[in-house]
């Protein structure tokens, strides 16, 4: 896949050479980006939620939750999009967000199954999930996809 005009598919991620090494580093790079993104977004939520709480105290709950979701996600996205400005191949950086979406879906389904008997705990989990997962995926993943596609058109 040395030619930039060549299209890739999911099968390309799992192709190996004769000696058993990976032909492409996209799989390992994208999983590494996913881990990095999780750390950055986790830190953004950890540090910014308490800072935002006094400002959103007297607001309606939906607006407080929206601000608590979007502001840390935007801060994390600004940090996570730095590699997309530096790297020439932007696919692994975007695919990191795809891995996070896969992890989030698996986590959501498993938690729903585990908490099906405890409605109160399930409600709390779903509220936190909605606050902390879609905003980073939409802001960061959407921006990463846009930058990746924009770089492909320039080649």
Predicted pLDDT of residue 137: 95
Burial class (CB in 10 A: 0-12, 13-18, 19+), 16: exposed
Please give the model's pTM, rounded to 2 decimal places. 0.79
Instruction: Indicate left, alpha or beta for 86 from its phi (over 0: left) and psi (-120 to 50: alpha).
Output: alpha
What residue spans define the domains of the chain? Answer: 21-154
Average confidence (pLDDT) over 119-146: 94
- Examine the pLDDT at 105 and tell me if it is beyond 90: yes
Q: How far is CA 63 from the centre of its chain?
A: 23
- Examine the pLDDT at 2 and tell me if it is beyond 70: no
- Examine the pLDDT at 1 and tell me if it is beyond 70: no
Q: What share of the chain in percent tops pLDDT 70? A: 84
Rounded Cα–Cα distance for residues 76 and 80 (Å): 6
Cα distances (angstroms) measured from residue 23 to each of 17, 87, 129: 6, 19, 36
Rounded Cα–Cα distance for residues 22 and 52 (Å): 44
Predicted pLDDT of residue 26: 83
């Amino acid at each position: 896949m040395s030619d930039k005009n060549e299209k890739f598919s999911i099968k390309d991620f799992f192709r190996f050479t004769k000696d058993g090494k990976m032909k492409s580093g996209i799989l390992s790079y994208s999983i590494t980006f996913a881990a990095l993104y999780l750390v950055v977004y986790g830190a953004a939520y950890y540090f910014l939620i308490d800072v935002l709480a006094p400002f959103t105290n007297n607001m309606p709950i939906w607006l407080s939750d929206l601000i608590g979701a979007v502001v840390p996600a935007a801060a994390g996205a600004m940090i996570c999009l730095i590699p997309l400005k530096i790297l020439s191949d932007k696919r692994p950086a975007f695919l990191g967000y795809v891995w996070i979406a896969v992890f989030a879906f698996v986590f959501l389904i498993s938690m729903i199954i585990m908490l099906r008997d405890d409605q109160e705990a399930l409600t709390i989990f779903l509220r936190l999930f909605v606050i902390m997962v879609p905003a980073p995926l939409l802001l960061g993943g959407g921006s990463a996809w846009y930058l990746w596609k924009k770089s492909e058109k320039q080649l």
